[in-house]
Amino acid sequence: MRLLDRITSPADVRRLSGRQATALAAEIRDFLVAQVSRTGGHLGPNLGVVELTIAIHRVFRSPEDTVVFDTGHQAYVHKLLTGRTDFSALRRRGGLSGYPSRAESEHDVVENSHASTSLSWADGIAKANVLQGRADRSVVAVIGDGALTGGMAWEALNNIAAGHDRRLVIVVNDNGRSYAPTIGGLAEHLSLLRATQGYEHVLDWGKRTLRRSGPPGRFAYDALHGLKKGIKDVVAPQGLFEDLGLKYVGPVDGHDVTAVERALRRARDFGGPVIVHVLTEKGRGYSPAEQDVADRFHAVGQIHPETGLPVAPSRFGWTSVFADEIVRIGRRRSDVVAITAAMLQPVGLAPFAEEFPDRVFDVGIAEQHAATSAAGMAFAGLHPVVAVYATFLNRAYDQVLLDVALHRAGVTFVLDRAGLTGDDGASHNGMWDMALLASVPGLRLAAPRDEETLRSALREAVDVDDAPTVVRYPKGALGDPLPALESLDGVDVLARHEGPDDAPAVLVVGLGSMARTALAAAEALAAHGLRVTVADPRWVLPVPAALTKLVGEHDHVVTIEDGLVDGGAGSVVAQRAREAGLPTPVQNLGVPRAFLDHATRDQLLDELRLRPEDVTRDVLAALGRTR
């Protein structure tokens, strides 16, 4: 019987001997490679924290002691050690979430998978423990070195340092990477700390040498002490943390269960805030991941476990189109620069960085800084292109509003994975951006429907130098081109279906990736004897005057979007129609104001009734017609 099969709770982990704990780590790695290769998921980060997570659950007593993961994609091992071993439907509807989930276990606390939040959560929990007399409880925050580049983490550190009576252990999981190599001053600081691994070994060697050479003299001890102090002063600048009032322990080999346990016990018994600096290797124990320099194994689809190669090759996708077009723009425009928040590869900026290395700025996991720094660049004569996942722009709304838009800065935001992304759950669906950005004065937003409209939207966006522009597109593969029949002052008409003169005239507006749904629904509506026009405004915000004119020429209008329906782009269309005094009813279809559980995009579209047949049924019902 495998050791892993005997683990149903952290109590079982604590009962293991040290040798068994090491054997369990090997079993977990085999399990993760076998399971995640079938379902897809975050493989590299979890292979790197196996021993660390085992040690945490051997030293602390979850759930009485609270363990918070930042970000939650490194919590697969935690799931296994808390009794969740069925990974057969990982990140699929009805299966385990790819992140911590309170619905799954009392051992999970923070469901939000956005980075740099764990220390604030831990600070709040530790404060509550003190005020409510739970002095025997500890709080453990596991934060990757990449997440420490986020400003929120440093706001939390500033407050944590003031709480000397709070039992709070900050585990810095330092693998030198977030999605890509961690950058910035903090990364340089941690790399110096990593160099201190050697000085303890030098000290141990010196002690052993003195013992073998007989009774040491005072001079020998003084020399050894001086050697220790000299090396430490040169290569151990942990003063950054100690000057904040935080005790520092480390660096510790994160793949030595015994060493990590020893460090965590010291931290736990100290009774105040402590940083434990743990060195790990992302992808540890899996050769394809260890040998990969592009970090392809941070998150994977289905792969062959023996080779790490994809089971099915990826189709040419939206991100690849952006990657190609931004390079073309960069060749033409020397003032165009790119900004990424620790995601150079995932958002498609790697080719731009390769050709224009001096014109790419990776600011770490710091979207707020990215937006305001871009405003500064625009003021100084550049045109910055800030490329992030749509869900992460939420964090920088204030900066987009008051630093970029208020100052009429020519900054382009490119939002990858906009709309329903599915498998990663509530925090990763990029469904908030249009509703949020609709409130920003002067902002222009494009939602391209295919490759050509994405390329043209990017070219148009970087030509705007007096307002923020946004280009959003979905996750995944591109579909076939959707050519326009005609263009009416920037609004593309994709289809016209004639019908009886006395039949209602319906305008179907498909926004971005929902243009295909609009076309399919229009065919079905035409089959019911309606006159139907399909329009795509391409530039959704502000609402083009030509689209408002089209609304007035029809008897009924339906808008379809994969963002929030409340306050979304469709509702702005309806508002403009009312302001123009148009009597045409505008029916808005989109995503409800709710957090959506992990599922595929197709499953979510089905659940939210955003399929072509659903649109057809809703329009017919609104017109008082039955199928």
Q: What are the catalytic residues?
A: 282, 367, 395
Token match 């085999």: residue?
30
73 annotated as belonging to a binding site for a ligand: yes
Torsion of Cα atoms, 23 then 29 then 34 then 39, to 10°: 140
44 annotated as belonging to a binding site for a ligand: no
The angle subtended at Cα 479 by Cα 475 and Cα 482, nearest 5°, is 120
What does the DSSP assignment read for 191-221? HHHHTTHHHHHHHHHHHHHHHHTSSPPHHHH
d(CA 472, CA 547): 20
Three-state DSSP state, 369: helix
Q: How far is CA 518 from CA 202, 486, 507, 589, in A?
A: 70, 16, 10, 11
Amino acid at 592: P
114 annotated as belonging to a binding site for a ligand: yes
Per-residue tokens: 574: 């309806």
d(CA 465, CA 42): 39
286 annotated as belonging to a binding site for a ligand: yes
Pairing relation of β-strands 491-497 and 531-536?
Answer: antiparallel
d(CA 49, CA 53): 6
Three-state DSSP state, 185: helix
99 annotated as belonging to a binding site for a ligand: no
Beta strands, E only, 417-555? 444-446, 469-472, 486-488, 491-497, 505-510, 531-536, 539-541
CA atoms within 13 A on the CB side of 531: 12
272 annotated as belonging to a binding site for a ligand: no
**What distance lies between CA 88 and its chain's CA centroid?**
23
Q: How far is CA 313 from CA 92, 234, 309, 317, 348, in A?
A: 21, 49, 9, 12, 17
Question: In angstroms, how far is the first alpha carbon of the chain from the final one?
Answer: 59
281 annotated as belonging to a binding site for a ligand: no
Amino acid at 570: G
Pairing relation of β-strands 556-564 and 586-591?
Answer: parallel
Adjacency order of strands within the sheet including 139-144: 66-70, 139-144, 168-174, 274-279, 247-253
Strand pairing partners for 68?
141
Q: Is the sign of the CA dihedral 559, 535, 473, 387 positive or negative?
A: negative
- Under 8 Å between Cβ of 90 and 59: no
Adjacency order of strands within the sheet including 412-416: 360-362, 336-340, 383-389, 412-416, 469-472, 444-446, 539-541
146 annotated as belonging to a binding site for a ligand: yes
Binding region for Mg(2+): 145, 175
Annotated binding site: 73, 113-115, 145-147, 175, 286, 367
Binding residues for thiamine diphosphate, as ranges, are: 73, 113-115, 146-147, 175, 286, 367
